[in-house]
Structure 1
Amino acid sequence: MAARQTQQRTQTTQPQPPQQQTRENHVTTGATVWLTGLPSAGKTTIAYELAGLLRSEGHRVEVLDGDEIREFLSAGLGFSREDRHTNVQRIGFVAELLARNGVLALVPVIAPFADSREAVRKRHQAGGTAYLEVHVATPVEVCSVRDVKGLYAKQAAGEISGLTGVDDPYEAPESPDLRIESQDQTVQESAAAVHALLSERGLA
């Protein structure tokens, strides 16, 4: 009897397999965080900073980079209003698919038109999927100085046209879930602000 009791105690104190520990520590709440703003506003930089923070907490995270989407999913689209709308809807579809399967989808994409963003929001609402809109409200004057891709310089030189916020419209969100003035704070502070919003909504 004593031997049996000792064996039972030994069995109950055995460590869990690593796979089981990983599963239990894995956070599965999904949501889409759409970071909208002008070119060179800091959207992608903030998204990747936030992604690192969330992954360190056990979240599954994907960053849907606008340039990569253009290359692999929307290569045939141009920059007309209709094509921009189609591109945003494609990205919104992928984001919602990821989010409803437990992934935090971070989307640093300009999405210049309010009706396009609203259509994405409604898609998420229809599926009961969490959706947050973050306006990275960096002024065009600051963006043109940053000019990460050289677009503002090319537009000024007459090499390109249709640059959002300069000679093509950008409809800023009237009531985003969060507005970030990235020129007044660090990337880490901006990412922390989005993280705080996710925590407030029970998503992080």
Structure 2
Amino acid sequence: MTGATVWLTGLPSAGKTTIARSLAERLRGEGHRAEVLDGDEIREFLSAGLGFSRADRDTNVRRIGFVARLLAGHGVTVLVPVIAPYADAREAVRKQHQAHGTPYLEVHVATPVEVCSARDVKGLYARQAAGEISGLTGVDDPYEAPEAPDLRIAAHEQGVGESVAAVHALLVERGLI
């Protein structure tokens, strides 16, 4: 059984987790082993104590990448909805997967910051605007959008079902499900 890591990167409130959870449900319904490594849950349980400095963000991404690679190496399709704002950290995860012969796909959930701010699922944009927090990715902290992802989804222009179908089609096309 082939496993793979599908890394969904994008701004806060872009739709990464919604797409990942819906895709996981579809994959499980088709009889595939699928897990979601949600960035918020990982921060609570695996990366507790890390802040949001560049070094801490990179450490968090490396940890998530390691766990994803282990699971994928055991036949699980691992969906990773994590901001991962820095291109070099995402590339390091890709290279670690390649070194172990583990498939890795990068999906950019390319929702514009204005749309993400209007959605503001966690209230982060409002808190940043009020001066309660700083270092919000895409607002006052950098986000390096992938230059050549395996798939780019304009989640603000299509529904969750269409986004899930696009990622599913990529997995089929690459022979990973």
Report the TM range for the smaller structure's normalisation: over 0.9
Structure 1 CA distance, aligned partners of 2:25 and 2:35? 10
Matched residues, percent identical? 82
The CA deviation at 1:29 is 1.6
Alignment-derived partner of residue 106 in structure 1:
79
Alignment-derived partner of residue 174 in structure 2:
201
Runs of 4+ that moved beyond 6 A: none
Write out aligned runs for 1:134-149 (5 A). 134-149=107-122
Write out aligned runs for 1:25-64 (5 A). 28-64=1-37
Alignment-derived partner of residue 181 in structure 1:
154
The CA deviation at 1:76 is 1.2
Structure 2 CA distance, aligned partners of 1:96 and 1:103? 9
Alignment-derived partner of residue 165 in structure 1:
138
Give yes or no for the alignment of 1:120 onto 2:93.
yes
Number of equivalenced pairs: 177
Structure 2 CA distance, aligned partners of 1:156 and 1:195? 36
SS of the residue corresponding to residue 6 of structure 2 reads strand
Structure 1 CA distance, aligned partners of 2:49 and 2:125? 24
Give the TM-score of the pair, scaled to structure 1: 0.86
Cα RMSD (Å) of the superposition?
0.4
Question: Cα deviations across residues 38-88 of structure 1 (Å, max 9, x unaligned)?
Answer: 000000000001001111111000000101100111001000000000000
Structure 2 CA distance, aligned partners of 1:116 and 1:191? 25
Q: Which amino acid aligns with 1:172?
A: A
Give the TM-score of the pair, scaled to structure 2: 0.99
The CA deviation at 1:91 is 0.1
Alignment-derived partner of residue 76 in structure 1:
49
Structure 1 CA distance, aligned partners of 2:39 and 2:111? 18
Alignment-derived partner of residue 70 in structure 2:
97
The CA deviation at 1:147 is 0.2
Q: Which amino acid aligns with 1:94?
A: V
Answer with 1 or 2: which has the greater Rg.
1
Alignment-derived partner of residue 128 in structure 2:
155
Query: Highest relative contact order (Cα 8 Å, sep 6+), 1 or 2?
Result: 2
Alignment-derived partner of residue 39 in structure 2:
66
The CA deviation at 1:145 is 0.2
Structure 2 CA distance, aligned partners of 1:76 and 1:151? 19
SS of the residue corresponding to residue 87 of structure 1 reads helix
Structure 2 CA distance, aligned partners of 1:159 and 1:76? 20
